[in-house]
Structures are given as structure tokens and as C-alpha cells.
């Protein structure tokens, strides 16, 4: 992985920029091949798409949200699932997949802009090359849409806090995790504006959903009934033990996921709920310490430090969750790519470990060993992320001396035309 990063850095920027979209097209055609079952000689499993179509029909026909155990999403997700129905039931699947690929392209476009603004192209290339390892999950789930909203909000937070907050609010209405975007803003005025926009968007969305669809709390009730899901990081010891004994961890289907059958697993699931709350407080405390250290020295934490903390918040939430699915890696990969777009990031090791974790994710359906390897990589990423976050807090969110010297060295080797362009911009 370090050699790949070094090779990417050594390529001419213009050449890299020209390669982005051809590589995007080739890699996404490979993913489409998985969706169509070309590479495996069979039709791809479309159970989720079939369920989404069922939900869309239910919402359109009855005007209410589903109440079955599978429905565990915020109310905005229903609108996302209804949109492809405009093309008709027969074309629902292909329309949904194309919509997700469009979101993927949007994220790629945002990351190319982030590379220019923040000095590193590693992020967009990590996104391009790691996504195919997530198999057919990205285009067959709707996670790419809230991911697009979250990445846009994160990158626009410093310039357009109201718009960024509104986008994050829409994202929260679809999946809750884009809330971590707020951890990336340090300036009180911008943070207040973004927070107000997020809360207002969320409130309007919830009120509208309640008025149109009636009760909207069934998703929360369904999530409360979940146990420790087989892919969760906390489930790793059960898989390791089963592998050592030549068996597989016992699980049963319930509340929309495969949960471990073990009283101790149920106790762990209960404890994780409290641990997630404690982790959120720890992220908040880290934010406060970072800001206070920076203000004490008369500066503000860097934009990269904000991206880093948002990434840490999401990674910590996933690590302490009793649920983990392959599509969660879409969220993590996107925020890792944003961090890797910044030369000043302290998340390089953690972000690259997240990128590496997509490789065993390709095999998790068939191999408990792949689950163990993937989860261990995520644990290593978590430790590296917190090491970077605490170091950043100690320095007030400022770039390290090494990073600054690297930037100076890079600037000194620019061509005369580039320097002239920068001076006149």
C-alpha cells in the first residue's frame, strides 16, 4: 500500500487527472458485471432491490411507512426508494442501480475538487480503486446517496455552512450517520449556522413525514430489538473461537439481520449501546480540547483536522456498534478519501487501513476468516485514528512540522508557470 501511494504521488498531476474518469468507468463496469452476474455465471442476488420495490409500492399505495422488522431507516429513506419507481416497476432495479452510480460519480467529482483544494490526489484514487472490493453492495444499497450528501457537506462546510448543514440534514433523514459532519467545523459562527440549518432541515423533514405517513417511530423500535450482528467488530471473538474449533458461529435471522445466538453476545450488544454514547462524548471532548489549544495559541484548528475528527467520529461509532454490514464501508471509505485528500491529515495510516479493509470485505459472505481479518484491520484503523486525533488535539489541530516541511518542499519545486498562476489567482 505505501508503494502504491508513493507511485501515485510521483505521477504527473495532469496525467492522474486525465486517468480519473477512464478508471472510474472501467472499475464501475466491473461492479456492474457483479450486479448482472456476469463474472460469477449467475444472476446477482437482488433481494434488497426487491424489498425496496415492495417498500416503494407500499408507500405509494398506502401513504404510510412500512412497519415490518426489515424497515430500520429514517423516514427520508422511503422517498429515496420511491424515486426509481417513476420509471415503472419493470425498470425499478436498473433505475435504482443507475441512480447509485450517479451518486458514485458525484462523490468522485467532489474528491477530484478536494484534491486540488487540499493538495493530495490519494483520496480520489483510494475511492476509485477500493470501491470494487465492496462487490455489488454499493449500487444495490442506497448508502451512496447519503454518502454523497455527507461528502458535499463536509467539503463545503467552511465556505457555505448553511448549505452544508442543510445537505447534512437531508443525509440524516436518509441515514443517521451524516450527523458527524458537524464535528469538522471549528468556528463557532459557522458551526451555529450549519447546526441550525441541519436541525431545521431535519425538523421539517420529520414533520412532513409524520403528516404524510403517520407514525414514523417503527424503525427505531425495530432497531432496538437487534442483538449482536455476526459481522460486528465485537463479534470477532466468536468467529475466532469457531475457526479454532473448525465450526462456524451460530446465528439466527431476526429484526432484519443475522444475530449471534449466545447470552453473552446479548450482554455485549446491550453494553455496546452505552459504549457508543460514551464514545460520542469522547469525540466531543476531543473537539473542545483541540479548539481550546488552538485558541490559546491565537490560531484556529486546520480544515484537515476537522475532516480527521469527523472520520474518527464515524469510525468510532461503527467500531462500537452492535451492527456492521459491508455497506458501512462505503461511509468509512468516503470519509477516509476526504482525509487522504489533505496533505496535513493525521489520518493517513488509519485511512489506508480502512482502504485495506475493503479487500477482505469482498469475501465476507463466504468466509468467517475474512470477517476476522476485516474487523482486525478496522480495530487497527481505530487505534491509529485515535492516536492521530489525540496528537492533533495536543497541537491544537495544526499541521505537524514534518507535514509543513513537506509542503514547503513541494511548493519550492513547482514550475514557474504554476507559481505565476498561483500568484495571480
Backbone φ and ψ for 260, nearest 5 degrees, come out as -65, 140
Backbone φ and ψ for 324, nearest 5 degrees, come out as -150, 125
Which residues touch 335 (CB under 8 Å, ≥6 apart)?
A: 150, 151, 154, 180, 307, 310, 311, 314
Which residues touch 295 (CB under 8 Å, ≥6 apart)?
A: 396
pLDDT level of residue 58 (50, 70, 90 thresholds): very high
Average pLDDT, the chain: 87
Is 50 exceeded by the pLDDT of residue 185?
Answer: yes
134 secondary structure, DSSP code:
G
* Bigger pLDDT: 415 vs 138: 138
- How is 21-73 classified by DSSP, letter by letter? HHHHHHHHHHHHHHHHTTTTTSPPP-HHHHHHHHHHHHHHHHSS---STT--S
Is 90 exceeded by the pLDDT of residue 60?
Answer: yes
Is 50 exceeded by the pLDDT of residue 105?
Answer: yes
pLDDT value at residue 4 = 59
- Cα-only R_g, the chain: 22
Is 60 exceeded by the pLDDT of residue 11?
Answer: no
pLDDT value at residue 6 = 63
pLDDT level of residue 240 (50, 70, 90 thresholds): very high
Q: Are 385 and 311 in contact (CB under 8 A)?
A: yes
pLDDT value at residue 401 = 45
Amino acid at each position: 500500500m505505501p508503494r502504491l501511494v508513493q507511485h501515485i504521488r510521483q505521477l504527473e498531476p495532469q496525467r492522474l487527472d486525465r486517468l480519473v474518469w477512464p478508471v472510474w468507468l472501467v472499475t464501475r463496469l466491473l461492479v456492474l458485471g457483479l450486479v448482472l452476474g456476469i463474472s460469477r455465471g449467475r444472476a446477482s442476488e437482488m433481494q434488497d432491490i426487491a424489498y425496496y420495490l415492495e417498500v416503494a409500492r407500499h408507500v405509494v399505495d398506502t401513504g404510510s411507512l412500512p412497519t415490518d422488522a426489515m424497515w430500520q431507516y429514517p423516514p427520508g429513506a422511503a422517498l429515496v426508494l420511491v424515486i426509481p419507481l417513476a420509471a415503472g416497476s419493470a425498470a425499478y432495479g436498473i433505475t435504482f442501480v443507475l441512480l447509485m452510480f450517479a451518486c458514485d460519480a458525484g462523490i468522485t467529482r467532489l474528491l477530484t475538487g478536494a484534491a486540488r483544494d487540499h493538495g493530495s490526489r490519494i483520496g480520489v484514487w483510494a475511492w476509485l480503486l477500493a470501491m470494487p472490493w465492496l462487490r455489488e453492495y454499493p449500487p444495490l444499497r442506497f448508502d451512496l446517496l447519503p454518502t454523497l450528501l455527507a461528502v458535499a457537506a463536509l467539503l463545503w462546510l467552511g465556505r457555505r455552512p448553511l448549505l452544508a448543514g442543510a445537505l447534512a440534514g437531508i443525509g440524516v433523514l436518509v441515514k443517521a450517520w451524516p450527523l458527524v459532519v458537524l464535528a469538522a467545523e471549528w468556528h463557532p459562527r459557522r458551526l451555529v449556522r450549519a447546526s441550525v440549518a441541519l436541525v431545521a432541515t431535519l425538523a421539517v423533514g420529520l414533520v412532513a413525514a409524520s403528516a404524510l405517513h403517520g407514525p414514523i417511530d417503527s424503525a427505531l423500535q425495530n432497531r432496538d430489538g437487534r442483538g449482536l450482528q455476526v459481522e460486528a467488530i465485537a463479534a470477532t471473538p466468536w468467529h475466532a473461537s469457531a475457526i479454532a474449533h473448525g465450526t462456524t458461529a451460530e446465528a439466527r435471522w431476526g429484526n432484519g439481520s443475522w444475530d449471534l445466538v449466545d447470552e453473552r453476545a446479548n450482554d455485549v450488544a446491550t453494553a455496546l449501546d452505552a459504549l457508543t454514547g460514551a464514545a460520542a462524548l469522547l469525540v466531543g471532548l476531543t473537539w473542545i480540547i483541540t479548539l481550546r489549544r488552538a485558541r490559546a495559541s491565537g490560531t484556529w484548528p486546520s480544515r484537515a483536522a476537522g475532516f480527521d475528527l469527523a472520520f474518527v467520529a464515524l469510525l468510532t461509532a461503527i467500531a462500537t456498534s452492535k451492527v456492521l454490514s459491508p455497506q458501512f464501508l462505503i461511509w468509512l471509505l468516503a470519509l477516509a478519501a476526504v482525509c487522504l485528500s489533505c496533505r496535513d491529515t493525521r489520518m493517513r495510516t488509519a485511512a489506508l487501513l480502512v482502504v485495506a479493509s475493503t479487500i477482505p470485505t469482498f469475501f465476507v459472505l463466504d468466509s468467517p476468516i475474512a470477517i476476522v481479518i476485516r474487523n482486525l484491520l478496522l480495530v487497527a484503523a481505530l487505534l491509529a485514528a485515535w492516536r492521530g486525533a489525540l496528537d492533533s488535539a495536543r497541537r491544537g489541530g495544526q499541521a505537524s512540522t514534518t507535514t509543513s516541511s513537506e509542503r514547503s518542499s513541494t511548493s519550492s519545486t513547482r514550475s514557474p508557470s504554476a507559481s505565476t498562476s498561483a500568484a495571480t489567482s
